[in-house]
Amino acid sequence: MTHSLHRSGDIESQKKDFVWFMYQTKGVNDKNIKPKALEFIAVAEAVGSENWGDVKTGPTVLCSVDEIRNNLSDKSRIRGVFTKREQVVEFLKQIKAKDLGMSVVIAGVLSEVIPACKEAEATPHSINYSLGVWGKKENLPDETTLSITTMCGHHMISPKFVKHVMKRVQKGKWTPEEGALKLATYCYCGIFNQVRCADIIKKSLPETDLST
Amino acid sequence: MPVIDQEKCIGCRSCQTICTVDAIHFKDKKCKIDPELCTECYVCFRMKICHEGAIETQDLAGFYKQFQHVLSDPVETHGVTGVTGRGTEEVKTNDVSGRVKKGEVGLSIDMGRPGMGVYLRDAEKVAMACAKAGFKLAPQEETPLAALMPDLNTGKLIDECLNYRLLSVIVEGRCEEEKIKDVLKALMKVQHEIDTVFSLGLISRVDPDGHCKALEYLDELGIPQPHRGKVNPGLGKPLSTA
């Protein structure tokens, strides 16, 4: 799930992008997780998670909620996205009150996530800090494309596909929202933030080079 | 592995557009998957992009092809780590597992991300550089790459695997807090010796404000302070106090 942590793009835009997870620990609480997963899903839905999913079935932008719920198993991984800090606070408050014992992770801009944890009285225990991208960076795609492809945790969205979607939006065949939704279906985990993606498409279209 | 039936392919190139690593070539009005570049992520097959049904899968021949697929396709679950794709539990369950303890620092070096893919020969270079600097590489119970690493003290991989390309693989482990500067220095050097990129995560126990001592070393090394993080707020049980 590289890109729940290492997302690219404008910081202000990233401040509207929070990834939430429920995790079971191997050998400790990884059996019969379905009842707890359903509780997590209920809270996420109530708080208004824009997209969520289980990698074993798919995201809500592709599959029905019932299908995801019915397919839950001990191999499931439940995660999704919020677009507002208030949603993170409410999510943490409710999950803490339920005391389910599963690990929770919130990924995002630290200046937003840490205060949200404090407000929910959920004290940070450990953090995986992003130290950015290293190595042959000159071969990476442009920053706009990267800000979209890095919203899929496992790089299931190719840079060429982003350009393809942008072209169709530019030609008026899709709205930015429709284009963003199309891209979101390729991220099986459900952590692709289609709301932020539509914003990025809208803001970048006039200046993006779509020639390749 | 995915293959394109040349009889069914009409050369629309839809599959080329969605291939995550540019492994599909167009020649003589047909698309064909390059088996050396393909990472077995199965996006082309799973998303049913071909309206002619030309994309099919064949049995993955041998251990390394299966390894490639399990690590590149997040829908698969790794048999040993129990985590999907090439993922590991890292900070995600640290409140319960206590994998990274107080006074230690973990690194999650996500090779090939974002989007470039990685040959295992480059993962080996990074693993060996880290091990030489005093980094303790994680065992195969914790991370898939260790299955190809007979000696965790050196980070050397099995020779037969070096030319396989994956969508991504994680070099992972930990060290004492005071050693992390040496490991980061080693990464600053080896990053110029590889033909891909990596996304670097630094894992630590933190104080209630989200700080840790290791962050102070970053300024000394000229590494920008992080603005993003995966925060584990300690709601898992039983809570590790290690």
pLDDT value of position A75: 87
Look at residues A158, A148, A135, A125 and name the one whose alpha carbon lies nearest to residue A202: A148
Query: Could you give the CA distance from residue B44 to residue B31 in angstroms, rounded to a whole number?
Result: 12
Phi, psi of A179, rounded to the nearest 5 degrees: -65, -45
Collect all residues of chain A within an 8 Å Cβ-Cβ radius of residue B206.
124-127
CA distance A146 to chain B (A): 8
Question: Per-residue pLDDT tens for A174-200?
Answer: 999 999 999 999 998 899 999 999 999
Q: Are residues A155 and B115, on separate chains, in Cβ contact within 8 Å? A: yes
**Between A24, A110, A136, which is nearest B197 by CB?**
A136
What is the rounded CA–CA span in Å between residue A144 and residue A157? 14
Contact A3, B113 (CB under 8 A): yes
Q: What local confidence, expressed as pLDDT, does residue B76 receive?
A: 72
The ranges of chain B with pLDDT < 50 are: 81
- Tell me, yes or no, if A110 comes closer than 8 A to chain B by beta carbon: yes
Q: What is the pLDDT of residue A33?
A: 95
d(CA B166, CA B3): 17
Neighbours of A119 (CB within 10 A): 15
B216 reaches A (C-beta below 8 A): no
Q: If you search the block for the tokens 């020649």, which residue do you land on?
A: B27
Cβ distance of A158 and B22 shorter than 8 Å? yes
pLDDT at position A26 is: 87
Question: Across-strand partners of B30?
Answer: B27
Residue A141 per-residue DSSP state: P
Which residues of chain A carry a pLDDT beneath 50?
none
Place of tokens 């839905």: A45
Across the interface, whether the CB atoms of B168 and A154 are under 8 A apart is answered yes
User: Among the residues of A48-193, which ranges form H helices?
Assistant: 65-70, 85-98, 110-119, 143-149, 159-170, 176-184
| Whether the model pTM is above 0.90 | yes
Mutate which: A55, A128, A157, vs B, most B CBs within 10 A: A128
pLDDT value, residue B89: 72
* pLDDT for residue A140: 96
Among partner residues A96, A135, A189, which is closest to B194 by beta-carbon distance?
A135
